[in-house]
Structure 1
Amino acid sequence: MKTTKLKQIAQWCGGTLHETDGEVEVRGVSTDSREVKPGQMFIPLVGARVDGHTFISRAVENGAVAVLNANKEKKPKNVPYIEVEDTLLAFGAIAAGYRQTMKAKVLAITGSVGKTTTKEMLAAILNRQFRTIWTEGNHNNNLGLPMSVMDIEEDTELAVLELGMSAFGEMSYLTKIARPDMAIFTNIGTMHIEHLGSREGILKAKMEILEGMDKEKGVLVLNGDEPLLWNQRKELALETHYFGIDNSLCEVTGSNIRSDNSGVRFDVTAFGKTFEVFVPANGQHTVYNALAAITAAMLQGATVENIQAGLATFENAGMRQKIYEKNGYTIIEDCYNAGPESMEAAINVLADRVVEGKGRKIAVLGDMLELGSCAMAEHHRIGRIAQIRKIDRIFAYGVNASRVASGAVTGGMKNKFANFYDDQDQLIHDLRFQARPGDVLLFKGSRGMKMERVLQLFWKEEDI
């Protein structure tokens, strides 16, 4: 964050200054009193169990030069503060005001799945050629996005930001903070369909991103293999570019896809150029994510050499499709979240692994949440896909685990290999007993299923 006077911050959020003439200079913001650095402003957030206002004194001790305050009953002491009605909304307004002072171009990534991976790929490319900042992890909501915006510096050329949503109106709020110069849509899937009603509803909610874009200068990058997005091409007033694998009318296409255990190679045809890229990750979804990143990067002027080098050194974030060897096992750790599209993609990655000797392919799957009336059918379908792709064993956990197992059995898997549980500890116990070195194990499920716990306890020898 560039140094900004407190009176400017108060103006952005519509707050009232106290204990200061507003000339105090702020050199950053923090929502965690333990991590406040000298010169920063502390933003106390009010949660279900913790009220950040309780920690204002600690923040001041750590060097906070100002704070936001929404506690009408207890005023901060010995520190300049801005009085507001809601600190989280005020933070969003501050970020929106700050964004308007920055010259950096903002590239915003949205979509049902693949946002974080595409963001990491795009950043890996652009950072080789431009002064680039990007969203940490998946900080893509009404708290994380403002934090990312405040990371933009005066010399930043490009900011790659991730925008997520689960309900109508959320994207509208975020895009008016980020003010994207470019919006990149990875796909339209079924994540959050419980709240949005249909895939058409999801598209409508995602398209709210246009509300924060310049109608004359804004640029869209869309997945041309997704009919819902392709059918928008005549409706959109903004400059629009499509990428895809199957749709030959796209400006950027991927072909000649070859995979092995080290990753995926494919040929790219883009804006009159043809070249090969390698990405150290597996699956067709990896190709789509890379094509989205390539399209956006080339529109910013990235060279083919930097695209190739950036993708070749790309590393995924968090618990997203980390593939590694441990104690004789190959682990595919993909525990961060799951929806039907990403679950199918993960199963395909497992199925495509080359296994030596008598090693088996085992899918350890948690429920996919927020699917509403689609839940039973989608879990059954995932089981069928696992059997069709010749997965050797399933260990499914959750309310819909039996649906996954029945889908696999319907497809021909033996009952004894299609295991389902409502007790996570029992699953872990049985998995320890049945898995053996040489096996490839996929761990995946929605965030609420905490499948990383299954993986962590799988390694421990003590009783659960």
Structure 2
Amino acid sequence: MERIKASVLLHGLVPDSMMFGEAEVSLVTTDSREVRPGCIFVAFPGERFDGHDFAAKALEEGALCVVVNHPVEGVPAEKAVLCPDSYHAMMVLGANYRSQFHPKVVGVTGSVGKTTTKQMCYAAIEGFGNTIKTEGNQNNELGLPRTMFRIGRDTEYAVVEMGMSHRGEIERLSRCARPDVGIITCIGVSHIGNLGSQENICKAKLEICAGLPEGAPLVLNGDDPFLRKAKLPEHIRPVWFSLGDESADVCALSIQQEADGMSFVLEDHEEGTFLVKIPAMGRHNVANALAAYCAATRLGLDARKVVRGIGNFEQTGMRQKVVHSKGIDVIEDCYNANPDSMKAALAMFKEYPCKRRFALLGDMLELGDLSREAHEEVGREAAESGLDTLITYGEQAKRIAVVAAAKGLTTLHANTYREAADALLKLMQPGDALLVKASRGMALEKVLELFYKEQP
């Protein structure tokens, strides 16, 4: 974070923007352990710890002021910035800081593929200048301002991921980040329990347009029926990408899955035709690559160099990471799961070159009333995916196993991590491949820890 006048940073949160004089701030933190002289400490109430309990101590350690939801004993009124919502305070601070700098910003949202597309955008752009990106899962009303604070005078590009679970959140994130180009990867069913329908999810994702300037490109998945029929704001310029539809602005043809990723021919109505290879498997990752390509080139960046950058993309965390372990290929995809990403992973795995295919699938969380139907649909998909054996873990995943077994697939439901690991150790042999996928809360990496440790 660059030094910035407190009067600028706190604009909109305090009645008198000059109440702290000419003081400058070089840190905004929500962690009392990070407090240093001249910083701003934002207190968040929590289940385990309440930041308000540390507000007075933050001032003792030199904080310029503290942002609190209510008056706090030991905190003088002249040092307290009252704001009933700490998330709102962070968003205001982040927006005020962002307004002082002028990097080109890519905003990424969508039901599936946000993080991978963000990574691909970063790979496409970083060769053109100093580039930052959202780290980890910092894609909400606390994490996005933290990303804004990482912008500096030498930052030329920023790739910002935007997540949501309710209407209005993407609009607030977009107004804070003020992207120059937006991406919507697709419209799925994540958080449908909160939003009620995919039509409402589509409207929520389109809130990214609120922060886009007049004439800004909005990169859209032309294969998504909800985006295709959506009413788009007049001030944005849609850029459509597609897997196979040559009428789209950018499309992928001759898509091939290879042992180490995907290859395809990219046709761009503006820039020409390119052969692209990406180190990520599955047609869904081709779509993610097209989205990243569109965003980078519509910022005016050289298409050939963008294609080379995407070819150097690196996957993060446990997202389709391929681990070669004692002759067995393990595709670790344990970071998250929803019906669309489950289907995409199974489709990819069906084409994966190996002797036999095994899958360990766990619960998909936060699906509300759609949960039973969604897990049963994954069971039908699994039965058609060329699996030798399906192992499931989790109460909802039982439905996957029941439906898959009814269609003739050999299944086993594990009640513990130990049971799942033992089944894999007993069944799998060198030359086999294993797909592991579930929502993050299922922690299937614990099964893999046992499996890797005890492989013969």
Q: Do they fold alike, i.e. is TM over 0.5?
A: yes
Task: Give yes or no for contact 1:31–1:45 (8 Å, CA) kept in 2.
Answer: yes
1:21-420 alignment to 2 at 5 Å? Answer: 21-36=20-35, 40-56=39-55, 64=63, 66-76=65-75, 82-214=81-213, 216-232=214-230, 236-270=234-268, 271-355=270-354, 359-413=355-409, 417-420=410-413
Alpha-carbon distance change, 60 to 265 in structure 1, aligned in 2, over 3 angstroms? farther
Shift in Å, 1:387: 2.1
Q: Give the residue type in structure 1 aligned to 2:240.
A: Y
Residue 429 of structure 1 corresponds to which residue in structure 2? 422
Deviations 1:134-186 (A, max 9, x none): 11123111111111112122232222111111112222222222222221111
Instruction: For 1:360 and 1:59, locate their aligned partners in 2 and report how far apart those are by CA, in whole Å.
Output: 58
Task: Give yes or no for contact 1:44–1:52 (8 Å, CA) kept in 2.
Answer: yes
Instruction: For 2:250 and 2:174, locate their aligned partners in 1 and report how far apart those are by CA, in whole Å.
Output: 26
Instruction: For 1:373 and 1:345, locate their aligned partners in 2 and report how far apart those are by CA, in whole Å.
Output: 22
Match of 2:443 among 430, 442, 450: 450
Helix, strand or coil for the counterpart of 1:285?
A: helix
Alpha-carbon distance change, 252 to 326 in structure 1, aligned in 2, over 3 angstroms? same
Shift in Å, 1:329: 2.4
Task: Give yes or no for contact 2:216–2:235 (8 Å, CA) kept in 1.
Answer: no
Q: Give the residue type in structure 2 aligned to 1:432.
A: L
Task: Give yes or no for contact 1:104–1:159 (8 Å, CA) kept in 2.
Answer: yes
Instruction: For 2:321 and 2:341, locate their aligned partners in 1 and report how far apart those are by CA, in whole Å.
Output: 14
Instruction: For 1:234 and 1:208, locate their aligned partners in 2 and report how far apart those are by CA, in whole Å.
Output: 10
Alpha-carbon distance change, 432 to 121 in structure 1, aligned in 2, over 3 angstroms? same
Task: Give yes or no for contact 1:44–1:53 (8 Å, CA) kept in 2.
Answer: yes
101-110 or 292-301: bigger deviation: 101-110
Instruction: For 2:80 and 2:444, locate their aligned partners in 1 and report how far apart those are by CA, in whole Å.
Output: 42
23-32 or 68-77: bigger deviation: 68-77
Task: Give yes or no for contact 1:17–1:81 (8 Å, CA) kept in 2.
Answer: no
Task: Give yes or no for contact 2:209–2:233 (8 Å, CA) kept in 1.
Answer: no
Task: Give yes or no for contact 1:17–1:80 (8 Å, CA) kept in 2.
Answer: no
What's the Cα RMSD here? Answer: 2.6
Alpha-carbon distance change, 290 to 63 in structure 1, aligned in 2, over 3 angstroms? farther
Question: Unpaired runs of 5+ in structure 2?
Answer: none
Task: Give yes or no for contact 2:10–2:96 (8 Å, CA) kept in 1.
Answer: no
Q: Give the residue type in structure 2 aligned to 1:257.
A: I
Shift in Å, 1:429: 3.4
Counting matched residue pairs gives 454
Question: Unpaired runs of 5+ in structure 1?
Answer: none
Task: Give yes or no for contact 1:114–1:289 (8 Å, CA) kept in 2.
Answer: yes
Alpha-carbon distance change, 225 to 437 in structure 1, aligned in 2, over 3 angstroms? same
Shift in Å, 1:109: 0.6
Instruction: For 2:74 and 2:170, locate their aligned partners in 1 and report how far apart those are by CA, in whole Å.
Output: 34
Helix, strand or coil for the counterpart of 1:156?
A: coil
Alpha-carbon distance change, 198 to 49 in structure 1, aligned in 2, over 3 angstroms? same
Task: Give yes or no for contact 1:233–1:240 (8 Å, CA) kept in 2.
Answer: no
Shift in Å, 1:367: 0.9
Task: Give yes or no for contact 2:69–2:82 (8 Å, CA) kept in 1.
Answer: yes
Deviations 1:297-327 (A, max 9, x none): 1111222332232112111122211112123
Instruction: For 1:361 and 1:91, locate their aligned partners in 2 and report how far apart those are by CA, in whole Å.
Output: 47
Is residue 6 from structure 1 mapped to residue 6 from structure 2 by the alignment?
yes
148-157 or 31-40: bigger deviation: 31-40
Instruction: For 1:250 and 1:63, locate their aligned partners in 2 and report how far apart those are by CA, in whole Å.
Output: 56
Alpha-carbon distance change, 13 to 320 in structure 1, aligned in 2, over 3 angstroms? farther
